[in-house]
Structure 1
Amino acid sequence: MVALTEHHQVNAPVVYGLLRLVRVSTARQTALAASLAEYCRSHEFQLSGVFTDRDATAGPISAVFMGLLDVLALPDVYGVVAPAMSHLGPKAIAAQRGRRVAAAGSHLLLVRKHRIPQCPVSRCGPLVGPR
């Protein structure tokens, strides 16, 4: 009989973070970096580094993104984690970058996959709780 994996030393999958921080406060930067760390901790990933893109005018092939692609090519790297798809850039660029990550054989992990649409009270009616 083989022992459970909890009884063996196993390495957590290695991921790298990506943050797009254009005109963002220091508090927001800290919160976003903390969200990556918490996501990785709760999903048992090893966050090995965070790439930060501060250039709003960068196209799909920025220096930061090329650096990320370089580390994704290293052995035993599972993928990249970002707070949301918008951290890959504007929609068209984000789509291209997502395809590049997939083409590199890596996974794209998003802390927040999508926004939950808010329904105005006028269309959905008021929320009624238990009485």
Structure 2
Amino acid sequence: MEPLTEHRPVNGPVVYGFLRLVRVSVARQTALRGSLVEYCRSHELQLSGVFTDRCMTTDIDSVAFTGLLDVLVLPDVYGVVAPALSHLGPKPIAAKRARHIEGAGARLLLARRPRTTRPSASRCEPALRRRPGPVRVLGAES
């Protein structure tokens, strides 16, 4: 009997990472790179490289992003992984860059999901709110 597929060494889809590191400590840089590596490991992706944008830019075409677009046209590239959408830049630039990535036929994968706009319930509040009304007391026999 042959071993299961999960027990054979296989290469996952090829992805490239993208980080925007402007005025970030070395420890934070290491943690962000580690988060990309861990995300790829847990999702069975092959992280082939990480492009790092270190400039405060208001332009969509930074050197790092242009390099990223260049590798996306290589055969067998699945997509781009980033810790969050903010790593593509400020909102208007991030939206344009996301369109460029998708236009190149690649997927944009985010290690952290975008936050919802609804405020979360406080830990002190009950998870289920009930309508006010009389309180029923149950006896020991019920």
> What TM-score, normalized by structure 2, do the two folds share?
0.78
Alignment of 1:1-131 (within 5 A): 5-6=5-6, 10-115=10-115, 118-119=119-120, 121=122, 126-128=124-126
Q: What displacement does 1:27 show?
A: 0.7
Aligned length, in residue pairs: 124
RMSD: 2.1
Q: Which has the larger radius of gyration?
A: 2
Distance, in Å, in 1 between the alignment partners of 2:86 and 2:100 is 15
Distance, in Å, in 1 between the alignment partners of 2:121 and 2:125 is 10
Distance, in Å, in 2 between the alignment partners of 1:16 and 1:58 is 23
Stretches of 4+ aligned residues off by more than 6 angstroms: none
Q: What displacement does 1:68 show?
A: 0.1
Residue ranges of structure 1 left out of the alignment (5+ in a row): none
- Partner of 1:39: helix, strand, or coil? helix
Cα contact 2:12–2:44 (8 A) shared by 1 = yes
Which residue type is aligned with residue 97 of structure 2? R
Q: Comparing both structures, which one devotes a greater share of its residues to helix?
A: 1
Q: What displacement does 1:94 show?
A: 0.3
- Partner of 2:69: helix, strand, or coil? helix
Distance, in Å, in 1 between the alignment partners of 2:126 and 2:27 is 36
Which residue type is aligned with residue 71 of structure 1? V
Residue ranges of structure 2 left out of the alignment (5+ in a row): 128-142
Distance, in Å, in 1 between the alignment partners of 2:26 and 2:8 is 40
Which residue type is aligned with residue 124 of structure 2? P
- Structure 1, 109-118 or 43-52: larger mean CA deviation: 109-118
Among all aligned residue pairs of Structure 1 and Structure 2, give the percentage whose two residues are the same amino acid: 65
- Partner of 1:52: helix, strand, or coil? strand
Distance, in Å, in 2 between the alignment partners of 1:108 and 1:60 is 16
Distance, in Å, in 1 between the alignment partners of 2:29 and 2:99 is 26
Q: Deviations over 1:33-64 (max 9, x none)?
A: 00000000000000010000000125111111
